[in-house]
């Protein structure tokens, strides 16, 4: 006894649906796969016809080459260091300011917050040249200061933390004040722990923004030692226009950290992204 007509149709429909999902997902991932497999190919096989889906022969040579042809280890260190410092400083400044704008009363609070939000409208490129001149003035060109300090805080980060902190009940804070707790103590012992989810979201996005930042690091660094990963990858291309294997090895190294962070912290990412978009 066979299945009814409608059950067969449903099965076919469902299979087709899943096939479409799988096919489109594969299409999304093919470029990544190609990056990975090219990094293991021999230089001559990169544009083999027909294309080699699995490198034969495969080699680890390029992952070694990439460290020596350009100071790639330095690029990696710079990116990690700068991203970490920018993230820490953003978490620090934005949580403090977010708390102040959200829970503390002081003259000028509304006006200043409004002004802060208005800065979100200003695209970074408007400040590019004056910032460059400023770095020149401070003698910060080609230093970590220039890579870190201009991005040490962000209006969006303050807005984000303020949103999170607003949801902390005032009663908790007031009763702590009544108990004689200092303002610093209130911040450190009550506000900070309660705003950790917000901190995690801010940290992830700040790190990602810094890690993938290109225009500013490219402009503000001139010596090889100070370049960050994205700039390094772009350079690999200019100097080694045909050396795709090395470039792909470098790209894999550059892309891997964010991918790993995402795979482990997917929920934080998605929740952080969608919190603002969806009215609960």
Partner 1 sequence: MEISIGRQIGLAIRKYYIAYLFILGPVVLTTIFLFIPMISSFAFSLTEWSGIQPPEFVGLANYQRLIFHDRKFIKSFINTTIFVILGQGSGPVFGLLSALALNQRVKFRAAFRTAYFLPVMTSLVVVATIWKMLYNESGLVNFLLKTVGLPTTRWLMNPSTALLSIIVTSVWQGFGFETVIFLAALQAIPKELYEAAMIDGANAWNRFWHVTLPSLRPVIVMIYIIGIIGTYQVFDQIYVMTAGGPLYNSQSIVGYLYENFHYMKFGYASAVAYILFAILALFSYLQMRFLGREE
Please list every residue from 209 through 238 that binds partner 1, using CB under 8 A.
211-212, 214-215, 219, 229-231, 233-234, 237
Q: What count of residues does the chain have? A: 280
239 binds partner 1 (CB under 8 A): no
- C-beta of 1 vs 278, nearer to partner 1: 278
- Of the candidates 82, 91, 158, 199, which one interacts with partner 1 according to CB under 8 A? 158
Q: Minimum distance from CB of 32 to partner 1 (Å)? A: 7
Stretch that binds partner 1, among 1-9, 98-106, 171-179, 194-202 (CB under 8 A): 98-106
Q: Minimum distance from CB of 197 to partner 1 (Å)? A: 16
Residue matched to tokens 């503390």: 104
Stretch that binds partner 1, among 65-73, 149-157, 172-180, 194-202 (CB under 8 A): 149-157
What is the Cα–Cα distance from 120 to 157, expressed in whole angstroms?
11
What is the Cα–Cα distance from 45 to 68, expressed in whole angstroms?
22
Per-residue interface string for the shown chain with partner 1, residues 106-145, x marking contact by CB under 8 A: xx-x--x---x--x-xxxxxxxxxxxxxx-----------
Q: How many CB atoms lie within 10 A of CB 161?
A: 27
Q: Minimum distance from CB of 87 to partner 1 (Å)? A: 15
Residues 186-205 touching partner 1, rule: CB under 8 A, are 187
Q: Which phi-psi region, left, alpha or beta, contains residue 143 (left: φ > 0; alpha: ψ -120 to 50)? A: beta
9 binds partner 1 (CB under 8 A): no
Q: Minimum distance from CB of 146 to partner 1 (Å)? A: 11
- C-beta of 82 vs 158, nearer to partner 1: 158
- C-beta of 1 vs 214, nearer to partner 1: 214
- C-beta of 1 vs 111, nearer to partner 1: 111
Tokens of 147: 């890579």
Q: Minimum distance from CB of 244 to partner 1 (Å)? A: 5
Per-residue interface string for the shown chain with partner 1, residues 20-59, x marking contact by CB under 8 A: xx--xxx-xxxxx-xx--x-------xx-xxx--------
Stretch that binds partner 1, among 58-66, 169-177, 195-203, 242-250 (CB under 8 A): 242-250
7 binds partner 1 (CB under 8 A): no
Residues 58-87 touching partner 1, rule: CB under 8 A, are none
Judge whether 187 and 96 are in contact, CB under 8 Å: yes
What is the Cα–Cα distance from 159 to 36, expressed in whole angstroms?
39
CA distances from 128 to 29, 33, 79, 196, 233 (A): 35, 36, 20, 33, 22
Beta-carbon contacts of 71 under 8 Å, excluding residues fewer than 6 positions away, are 224, 225, 227
Dihedral (C-alpha) 178, 182, 184, 189: value to the nearest 10 degrees? Answer: -60
Cα-trace Rg, the chain: 25
Element housing 130 (H / E): helix 124-138
Element housing 22 (H / E): helix 5-39
Under rule CB under 8 A, how many of the chain's residues touch partner 1?
90
- Three-state SS for 245? helix
């Amino acid at each position: 006894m066979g299945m009814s007509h409608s059950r067969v149709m449903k099965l076919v429909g469902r299979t087709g649906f899943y096939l479409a999902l799988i096919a489109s997902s594969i299409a999304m991932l093919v470029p990544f796969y190609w990056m990975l497999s090219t990094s293991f190919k021999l230089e001559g096989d990169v544009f083999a016809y027909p294309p080699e889906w699995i490198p034969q022969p495969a080699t680890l040579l390029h992952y070694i080459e990439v460290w020596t042809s350009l100071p790639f280890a330095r690029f990696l260190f710079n990116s990690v260091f700068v991203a970490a410092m920018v993230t820490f400083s953003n978490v620090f400044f934005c949580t403090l300011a977010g708390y102040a704008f959200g829970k503390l009363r002081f003259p000028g609070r509304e006006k200043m917050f409004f002004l802060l939000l208005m800065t979100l409208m200003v695209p970074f490129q408007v400040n590019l040249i004056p910032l460059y001149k400023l770095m020149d003035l401070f003698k910060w060109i080609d230093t970590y200061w220039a890579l870190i300090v201009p991005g040490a805080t962000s209006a969006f980060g303050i807005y984000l933390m303020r949103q999170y902190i607003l949801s902390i009940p005032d009663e908790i804070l007031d009763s702590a004040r009544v108990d004689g707790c200092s303002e610093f103590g209130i911040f450190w012992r009550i506000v900070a722990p309660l705003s950790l989810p917000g901190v995690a979201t801010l940290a992830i996005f700040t790190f990602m923004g810094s890690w993938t930042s290109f225009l500013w690091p490219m402009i503000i660094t001139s010596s090889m030692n100070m370049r960050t990963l994205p700039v390094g990858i772009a350079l690999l291309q200019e100097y080694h226009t045909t050396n795709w294997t090395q470039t792909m090895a470098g790209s894999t190294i550059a892309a891997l950290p964010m991918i790993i962070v995402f795979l482990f912290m997917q929920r934080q990412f998605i929740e952080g992204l969608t919190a603002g978009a969806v009215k609960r």
